[in-house]
């Protein structure tokens, strides 16, 4: 999948250039524009239960959109719902994890499913589930705000607020804990839970948090007494 990302980092747009017959899968509703020879097909990838798993557990759409260039090269423009950045990586037989809502598009050969986070899951806005992407091919993912990539050396630890985690490579191990010692410090500091990653591997962060936006808006909404 050959693509270019424009208008970073606030209102990013991914322009995917398709070879004749090439196919990509994308999150439903992500299409902004496409060439007249690009055909759209919607399906429940992985069958009913696979689609249900991604929707309920992974926070993605129940249906997957597939785009294919017919009779020549084509162009497909994609964008996420919220303003922010778009990242692109090439997987080479690897596994990559995305928080729910971060998936945008991928090569048709990549496998995308949900993974139970168990007791170590993300207890913030990302919920308990992660999307697991496996195989070889290109992957597009989105963030709310700009993307920040951090490469961790073997044994290096790095703490990230759970609401700012976008995705990470399979080599990283992680645990979720309170940001500060004691619940009083956690509440007083305004920080909640953090995910502590241990290298080696890559972690992608977003500079803004959807949960913080919702809380900010809720505090300014008029109450019934007003």
Q: Quick one: average pLDDT of 199-226?
A: 88
Instruction: Give the pLDDT confidence score for residue 131 in this predicted structure.
Output: 87
Of 33, 34, 51, nearest to 42 by C-alpha is 51
Residue 59 lies in a domain: yes
Confidence band, pLDDT 50/70/90 cuts, at residue 16: very high
Residue 76 lies in a domain: yes
Percent of the chain residues past pLDDT 90, beyond the cut: 60
Residue 209 lies in a domain: yes
Q: From CA 66, how far away is CA 49, in angstroms rounded?
A: 19
Per-residue pLDDT at 51 exceeds 80: no
Instruction: Give the pLDDT confidence score for residue 178 in this predicted structure.
Output: 80
| Structural domain for 54, as ranges | 2-219
Confidence band, pLDDT 50/70/90 cuts, at residue 222: confident
Strands (E), 28-172: 31-34, 38-43, 64-69, 74-78, 86-99, 103-107, 111-116, 129-142, 147-152, 157-161, 165-169
Instruction: Give the pLDDT confidence score for residue 49 in this predicted structure.
Output: 44
Select the more confidently predicted residue: 179 or 58.
179
Contact (CB, 8 A) for 12 and 86: yes
Instruction: Give the pLDDT confidence score for residue 191 in this predicted structure.
Output: 56
pLDDT per residue over 73-98, tens digit each?
999 999 999 999 999 999 999 999 99
* Per-residue DSSP letter, 164: G
Number of domains in the chain: 1
pLDDT per residue over 126-157, tens digit each?
444 688 899 999 999 999 999 999 999 999 99
Instruction: Give the pLDDT confidence score for residue 57 in this predicted structure.
Output: 45
Residue 214 lies in a domain: yes
Cross-strand bridge partners of residue 15: 4, 77
Residue 124 lies in a domain: yes
Residue 224 lies in a domain: no
Burial of 218 (C-beta count, 10 Å sphere; 0-12/13-18/19+): exposed
Decide: helix, strand or coil at residue 6.
strand
Of 143, 99, 166, nearest to 9 by C-alpha is 143
The pTM of this model reads 0.82
Per-residue pLDDT at 45 exceeds 80: no
Residue 226 lies in a domain: no
Per-residue pLDDT at 198 exceeds 80: yes
| 102-to-37, 120, 224 alpha-carbon distances in Å | 28, 19, 35
Select the more confidently predicted residue: 43 or 59.
43
pLDDT per residue over 55-74, tens digit each?
444 444 547 899 999 999 99
Q: What is the CATH number of the domain that holds 29?
A: 3.60.160.10
């Amino acid at each position: 999948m050959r693509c270019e990302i424009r208008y970073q980092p606030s209102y990013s747009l991914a322009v995917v250039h398709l070879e004749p017959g090439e196919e990509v899968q994308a999150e439903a509703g992500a299409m902004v524009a496409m060439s007249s020879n690009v055909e759209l097909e919607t399906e429940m990838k992985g069958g009913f239960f696979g689609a249900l798993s991604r929707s309920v557990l992974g926070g993605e759409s129940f249906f997957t959109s597939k785009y294919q260039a017919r009779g020549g090269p084509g162009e497909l423009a994609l964008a996420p719902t919220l303003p922010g950045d778009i990242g692109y990586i090439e997987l080479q037989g690897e596994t990559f994890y995305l928080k729910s809502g971060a998936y945008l598009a991928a090569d048709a050969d990549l496998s995308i499913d949900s993974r139970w986070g168990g007791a170590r899951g993300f207890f913030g806005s990302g919920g308990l589930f992660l999307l697991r992407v496996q195989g070889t091919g290109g992957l597009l993912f989105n963030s709310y705000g700009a993307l920040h990539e951090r490469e961790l050396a073997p044994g290096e630890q790095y703490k990230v607020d759970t609401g700012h985690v976008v995705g990470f490579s399979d080599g990283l191990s992680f645990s979720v804990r309170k940001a500060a010692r004691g619940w009083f410090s956690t509440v007083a500091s305004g920080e909640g839970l953090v995910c502590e990653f241990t290298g080696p591997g890559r972690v992608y962060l977003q500079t803004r948090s959807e949960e913080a936006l919702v809380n900010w808006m809720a505090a300014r909404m008029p109450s019934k007494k007003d």
